[in-house]
Amino acid sequence: MCYIRASMSNVLQKQHEEHQTARQIMDNLEEMFGEQTIQAKTDAIKGLMNCRQKVGTPIKEHMMKVMAYLSEAQTNGAEIDSATQLVMVFQTLSKDFDLFQASYNLNRKEMSLTELMKELQAFENIFKGSGSKAEANVAEPSSTAPNPKRKKEKGKNKGKKPAVDAPATKKSTKTKKRKVDPKKVKCFHCGKKGHFKKDCREYLSMLKQKESTTRGASS
């Protein structure tokens, strides 16, 4: 009884001064703290059952929270075997770990909570790597992907000869004829200026004489 009193605080020692035996002291302590222990155990189990991993929360951070609930429940008298602990942990995980849980259900490997946390971390790293790769593929679609619209247009034009562009028209290399002033022109027949040969009176008169001479000879 002396050892029990020595381990108590001053307040508890005064409260148990009237108790004569160790059994009386233990019964009184159980009455005082029994209800608190049950409530603490209930709160810990309730907190564990309501605990859910949020998207983006690292698995290590989540597991530390879950393990704290389990430790609190066991400290206050809860008896939870290792297999049940693993089942309770899996119920708190996000859908990202469904594949891991399916693999565990097939193998039924026995492991501690610490070992489970390490394997979940390894799975998380693999999942993050494959997830970022998939996001990159979605964000940056391949430029070589077939365009159904182009394919349809290509089928429409099948059998048609490709349109040939008309050759570019060449610019005329000929120089424009310059207008000649008749006053400056010199006739090739009479040698006088002011008219062309075709307009020369002497030349035209000569042509008429030739025509009349030719007609007279033929008659």
Q: Region 198-211: what's the mean pLDDT?
A: 82
Q: Say how far apart CA 55 and CA 95 lie, in whole Å.
A: 9
Q: What does the block give as tokens for 124? A: 């998380």
Q: Please determine, for residue 98, whether its predicted confidence score (pLDDT) is greater than 80.
A: yes
The pLDDT-based confidence of 14 (bands split at 50, 70, 90) is low
User: pLDDT: is 108 or 87 the higher one?
Assistant: 87
Residue with the two structure tokens 């290509």: 154
Would you say 120 and 101 are in contact if contact means Cβ atoms under 8 Å apart? no
Structure confidence at residue 188 as a pLDDT band (50, 70, 90): confident
Give residue 136's pLDDT band: very low, low, confident or very high (50, 70, 90): very low
pLDDT for 155: 57
Instruction: Note if the pTM is more than 0.75.
Output: no
Q: What is the pLDDT of residue 210?
A: 80
DSSP-assigned letters across all residues of the chain: -HHHHHHS-HHHHHHTTT--SHHHHHHHHHHHHHHHHHHHHHHHHHHHHH--PPTT--HHHHHHHHHHHHHHHHHTT----HHHHHHHHHHHS-GGGHHHHHHHHHH-----HHHHHHHHHHHHHHHHHHHHHHHHHHHS--TTS--HHHHHHHHHTTTPPPPPPPPPPPPP-SPPPPPPPGGG-B-TTT--BSS-GGG-HHHHHHHHHHHHHHHHHH-
Phi then psi dihedrals of residue 179, to 5 deg? -70, 130
Query: How far apart (Å, rounded) are the C-alpha atoms in residues 100 and 184?
Result: 110
